[in-house]
Amino acid sequence: MDVVNILRMNAGSRKCSYAKNSTLQKTVLLKAQEVLEETIKDYGSRGFPGCFKIADLGCSSGPNALLLVANIVDSVHAFCQQKHLKEPNEYQVFLNDLPSNDFNAVFKTTPELCSKLENKISPEKSINCFICGVPGSFYKRLFPGNSLHFVHSSYSLHWLSQVPEEVLNTNKGNIYMANTSPGSVFEAYSNQFRRDFTAFLHMRSKEIVSDGRMVLTLIGRSSADPTSNNDCCYVFGLLAKSLQDMVAEGLIRGEDISSFNIPIYNPCTEELEAVIESEGSFSLDKSETFEVKWDTRDKYEILKSGEASGKFIAKTMRAVTEPLLASHFGNTMMNKLFERYAMHVTEHLSREEPKYFNIVVSLTKKCKSSRNHLDWD
């Protein structure tokens, strides 16, 4: 599987697009807002640079892509007002995702955002916000050395750079870690995450200024035991079950399931912190966890039945996984697949109230020399 060229969220504004089905990701972004604000305050306690350079890694598309930008600018402004500090004259924002991301949809909304920020923050003073896209894998270098002050990533780092090679054709009947998976599958996924996250930290250590900050949020798991019945694993178990239904109906071949695995890994907190410590470039300032229901939506949206909830969750999952699934199984069976998935989710919801376990960490790049980030123009 060529993850770099295949992995993306559903583009456009269709009913099954990511733009229309990313309430879960928005909720997680807002729940991590307090850690984000605390990190910005700590970094800015001795003043902000004249041009505050920010990168959002795995920005995707839709309304969430620029929500983070607005939140950061608002947080910096509020803190500077409170502490009577000089605000940055300019913000340079780099939005990163893989090349197949729907960057066009993001760029269409940037002029409106910049206009709102200028009027909201300081009507009498011009605040320049420069936004650009940076296509590429965040497991490789993306920016010049010592060029970034703040890096953010939400709901992206649980995606791996590739499906672990050891998993191919050994995880029979499954598409992710499951109770029926061999022990080698769990080990392979864990090792791949360790390699990828180590590479991520190493690359960012070259790009972030000394004492620069990162806030990272990802779906994890609450138990150190990967064989336990974690909701993050079970959500894909129901998808595998839906695919198996289609095998029984002669719509796809069983071997096609065994040759397909999701390039994702949900670490426990201990795993995440261990990689941060062993890589050594960043200090861990804060680590928090929180849960959100599978069926997370805006408060004004009212569910009428469990069936409606199952369909809602299916649309959320489809917006995230359809490009990967279609590349392997073909486009023609996606409607049938997610109809079955919605039925299995509805049945699961009748017995349990599943939740995603989320981990958010705040990191500081360790200083090799005295801090000097006040580069006023």
Q: What is the per-residue pLDDT across 276-301, written as a single tens digit (0 to 9) for each?
A: 999 999 999 999 999 999 887 765 45
CA contacts within 13 A on the Cβ side of 85? 21
Whole-angstrom distance, CA of residue 205 vs CA of residue 320: 29
Cβ atoms of 197 and 153 within 8 Å: the answer is no
Confidence of residue 374 (pLDDT cuts 50, 70, 90): very low
State residue 191's pLDDT score: 95
What's the rounded Cα separation, in Å, for the pair 288 and 357? 11
Instruction: Write the pLDDT tens digit of every residue in 68-102.
Output: 888 998 899 899 989 999 989 899 999 999 999 88
Mean pLDDT of the chain: 87
Q: Give the tens place of pLDDT for each residue, 256-275.
A: 888 899 999 999 999 999 99
Q: Which pLDDT score is estimated for 230?
A: 64
Per-residue pLDDT averaged across 232-239, rounded?
87
Task: Locate the domains of the chain by residue range.
Answer: 3-365
Which residue type sits at 159? Answer: W
Asked whether the predicted pLDDT for residue 124 surpasses 80, the reply is no
The pTM score is 0.91
Q: What are the backbone dihedrals phi and psi of residue 286, each rounded to the nearest 5 degrees, phi first? A: -155, 140
Which pairs with CB-CB distance under 8 Å and at least 24 residues apart come from 104-108?
A: 105/11, 105/12, 105/13, 105/19, 105/61, 105/62, 106/59, 106/61, 106/65, 106/66, 106/133, 107/131, 107/133
> What is the pLDDT, as a whole number, of residue 123?
56
Report the distance separating Cα 92 and Cα 112, nearest Å. Answer: 16
pLDDT at 1: 67
**Contact (Cβ atoms closer than 8 angstroms) between residue 157 and residue 266:** no
Least confident range from 131-140, 161-170, 339-348, 365-374: namely 365-374
* Cβ–Cβ < 8 Å for 4, 99: yes
Taking Cα atoms as reference points, which of 181, 165, 197 lies closest to residue 271? 197
Which is more confident, 303 or 96?
A: 96
CATH code reported for the domain at 3-365:
3.40.50.150
d(CA 75, CA 215): 14
Coil, strand or helix at 159? strand
Triad 233, 251, 186: Cα angle to 5°: 20
Measured CA to CA, the distance from residue 155 to residue 160 in angstroms comes to 12
Q: Tell me how far apart the 2 most distant CA atoms of the chain are, in Å.
A: 68
Supply the pLDDT for residue 168: 81
> With 90 as the cut, is the pLDDT of residue 205 above it?
yes
